[in-house]
Amino acid sequence: MQNPIIVALDVPSTQKALKLAEELAPVVGAFKIGKQLFVNGGPDVVRKLRGVGAKTFLDLKFHDIPNTVARAVQASTDLGVDMLTVHASGGSEMLAAAENAGHEQAAMLRSEPPLILGVTVLTSMDDANLAELGIDESAQDRVLRLAKLAAGAGLRGLVCSPQEISLIRGELGDGIQLVTPGIRPESSDAGDQKRTMTPAEAMKAGANWLVIGRPITGAKSPKAAAVEILNSINPELVPESERPLPEAVDCSECGQSIKLDKNEQLSGKYHCPYCEKEIVHKR
Ligand code: C5P
C-alpha cells in the first residue's frame, strides 16, 4: 500500500511551503500546490518541492478550449508534476486532449505521464447552485454523469468527496483512482468542510488518495499529526524511524525512565525532568 496522504500546502509563500514539505516528506505521499501557492511562488515552487524528493500534485483545475488545456498539461508534464486537475465539465474533447498531451509529452521526456484528475461538481455547489446555471440535474446525478464522461475520455482519476466514493466505484469499478478532500481525523475541527469522513473511513470506502490540509498544516506539530493519521490508516505505513514511542522510555540523554504523553510519543520529543533537557529521542 502506498502512503495515501496528500498534504494541501495552502500557504502564501514558497518558503513556508518548503519548510512544511521538508518536515513532512518522510511521512506523507505527496504535496498539493493550489492556486494561492502557485500564483505566489510560480513553477519554481514545484521544482523546489520536487527537490525535497516529494511527489507533487498541481491543483489548478484547468478549464479552457482543448488546445489551451493540452498546452497547459504539456507544460505541467515538463515541470514533472505527478498529478494535476482539470474540470470534467470542460467536455470530452478537452479531457481527451489533456490526457493525450500528458502521454505524448511524457513519452518524449521518457518519463511517466501525470495522473490527470477530473473535478466533477465542486463540493461548494448544491442543487440550487446548479439550477442557477440552468442545470436541472441533481448534484449527485451530475457528479456521476461527469465521472463517466471523464473516464470515457480516457482519464484515469477523479477528485470526489468521500460521500461520492461508493457511487462512483459502483459505476466505474476499481480501476479509477479516487482522490478525496473533506477529510477530518476524529480529533480535529471540521472547519468549513461540511460532509467529512475520517482518514480510515475514506480509505475503507475505497479512496486511493486523501487530500488533507489544515488538520496537518495547522497542527502544533504537523509531522506528529501526519504520523497519527497514517497510524490510523495502517501502522505499517509509518516509517520505522517515525513510529510513535511507547508510553514509557529511558531518556536518551540520562537514561532515567520517564512517562510520555500522546504528543511526546508521536513527535519523539520530550522534556526530561531528571536531566532538565529538551530531548529528541534516539531510537
Ligand atoms: O484544509 P482542508 O483539509 O480543508 O483542505 C482541503 C484541500 O482540498 C483544500 O486545498 C481545498 O481547496 C481542496 N478541496 C476541497 N474540496 C473540494 C476540492 C478541493 O476542500 N471539493
Is residue 195 a contact partner of residue 165, using CB atoms and an 8 Å limit? no
8 Å CB contact between 166 and 147: no
Indicate if ligand 1 lies below 6 Å from the C-beta of 212. Answer: yes
Q: Is the CB of 193 under 6 A from ligand 1?
A: yes
232 Cα: distance to centroid of ligand 1 (angstroms): 21
Q: How far apart are CA 136 and CA 81, in angstroms?
A: 36
174, with CB counted inside 10 A (0-12, 13-18, 19+), is exposed
Instruction: Give the pLDDT confidence score for residue 242 in this predicted structure.
Output: 87
- Angle (CA) 281-282-283 rounded to 5° is 110
Residue count of the chain: 283
Q: Is the shortest distance between the CB of 160 and ligand 1 below 6 Å?
A: no
Residue 61 annotated among the catalytic residues of the structure? yes
Cβ–ligand 1 distance for 181 under 6 Å, the answer yes
pLDDT for the residue numbered 249: 95
pLDDT in tens, the chain (283 residues): 899 999 999 999 999 999 999 999 999 999 999 999 999 999 999 999 999 998 999 999 999 999 999 999 999 999 999 999 999 999 999 999 999 999 999 999 999 999 999 999 988 888 999 999 999 999 999 999 999 999 999 999 999 999 999 999 999 999 999 999 999 998 777 777 777 899 999 999 999 999 999 999 999 999 999 999 999 999 999 998 888 899 999 999 999 999 999 888 888 889 999 999 999 998 7
Q: Is the CB of 10 under 6 A from ligand 1?
A: yes
Nearest CA to ligand 1 atom 6: 213
Place of cell 531510537: 283
Confidence at residue 266, expressed as pLDDT on a 0 to 100 scale: 81
What pLDDT is stored for residue 267 in this prediction?
A: 81
What is the CA angle 199-204-205, rounded to 5?
Answer: 100
For residue 243, the model assigns a pLDDT of: 87
Name the E strands within the chain: 5-8, 30-33, 55-62, 83-87, 115-119, 157-159, 177-180, 209-212, 248-250, 257-259, 269-272, 277-280
Q: Is 123 in the pocket of ligand 1 (CB under 6 A)?
A: yes
- Residues 84 and 76 sit within 8 Å (Cβ to Cβ): yes
Domains of the chain: 5-242 (3.20.20.70), 248-280 (no CATH)
| Residue nearest atom 20 of ligand 1, based on CA coordinates | 181
Q: What is the DSSP letter of 247?
A: S
Ligand 1 centre to CA of 275 (Å) is 44
Residue nearest to atom 5 of ligand 1 (CA): 213
Nearest atom within ligand 1 for CA of residue 8: 10
Compute the distance between CA of residue 267 and CA of residue 197 in angstroms, rounded to an integer: 25
Listed residue (53, 16, 55) closest to 36, CA to CA: 16
| Strand pairing class (248-250; 55-62) | unpaired
> Which residue among 61, 204, 269, 277 is the active-site one?
61
